[in-house]
Amino acid sequence: MDITAENKLLISLSHGDEQAFFALYDQYSHALFSTIFRMVKDRQVSEEIVQDVFLKVWQKRSTIDPTRSFKSWIFTIAKNDVISWYRKLAKEAEMQENLYQHFEQLYLMEKEVDIEEKQSALLEKALNTLSERRREIFVLCKIEQKSYEEVAKQLHISVSTVSNAMVKSNQHIRQFVQDHYEEILTILVTFYFF
């Protein structure tokens, strides 16, 4: 859809045109759902957030500025809704596990310029909760993705020592995730939405 056609739809929507609303919904709902689903990993929650985003669009239709990016606006609404969803569920054990799994992905994410510093600082803080030896083992296993056997051979230690160190390291990192929930959530949501 070119800009002028979208501008016309936005102007119509701002005047309460339901057909314009549904045209914009058809245009953006799938991409929005895909992005939200990558973050929350739950189809029903993703659908509810998409519906909520478009409900807000309808409710705020008279304030829409057709010269500004509609896509950026709805993705910002979605980003805020995802953060709210995570905040509500932050105390549940299953959600803490979900966030921990996402936090692990920070090691492997390609660094975006705008979040690289925050991401690096956060990972460094997390790694600094570990002893020097555990940090070395953790980096080799998680960041460099070496097997326990490869790490044991490289460091001249037993596989069970590597395994024990990883169990302890994961406990520390889980605690770090709980203690820095808001920071981690902001970085992850920013990564997925932009």
What is the tens place of the pLDDT at every residue in 113-126?
445 566 667 777 88
Domain 93-193: give its CATH superfamily.
PhyR, sigma-like (SL) domain (1.20.140.160)
Six token digits for residue 49: 């957030």
Task: Name which of 61-70, 97-106, 141-150, 166-175 the model is least confident about.
Answer: 97-106
Sign of the four-CA dihedral 177, 182, 188, 192: positive
Quick one: pLDDT at residue 85? 85
CA distance 79 to 68: 18
Is the pLDDT assigned to residue 130 strictly greater than 90? no
The pTM of this model reads 0.54
- Decide whether 3-88 matches 93-193 in CATH topology: no
Nearest 10 degrees: Cα torsion 119, 123, 128, 129: 120
Q: Which fold has domain 3-88?
A: Rna Polymerase Sigma Factor; Chain: A (1.10.1740)
Is the pLDDT assigned to residue 109 strictly greater than 60? no
Q: In the predicted model, what is the mean pLDDT of residues 178-186?
A: 71
Is the pLDDT assigned to residue 63 strictly greater than 70? yes
Quick one: pLDDT at residue 23? 92
- Under 8 Å between Cβ of 162 and 151: yes
Six token digits for residue 103: 């936090």
- DSSP summary character for residue 89: T
Quick one: pLDDT at residue 145? 84
What is the percent of the chain with per-residue pLDDT over 90, rounded to a whole number? 29
CA distance 34 to 43: 9
- DSSP summary character for residue 67: T
- Under 8 Å between Cβ of 46 and 94: no
Q: In the predicted model, what is the mean pLDDT of residues 149-157?
A: 92
Residue ranges per domain, the chain? 3-88, 93-193
Is the pLDDT assigned to residue 153 strictly greater than 80? yes
Quick one: pLDDT at residue 54? 93
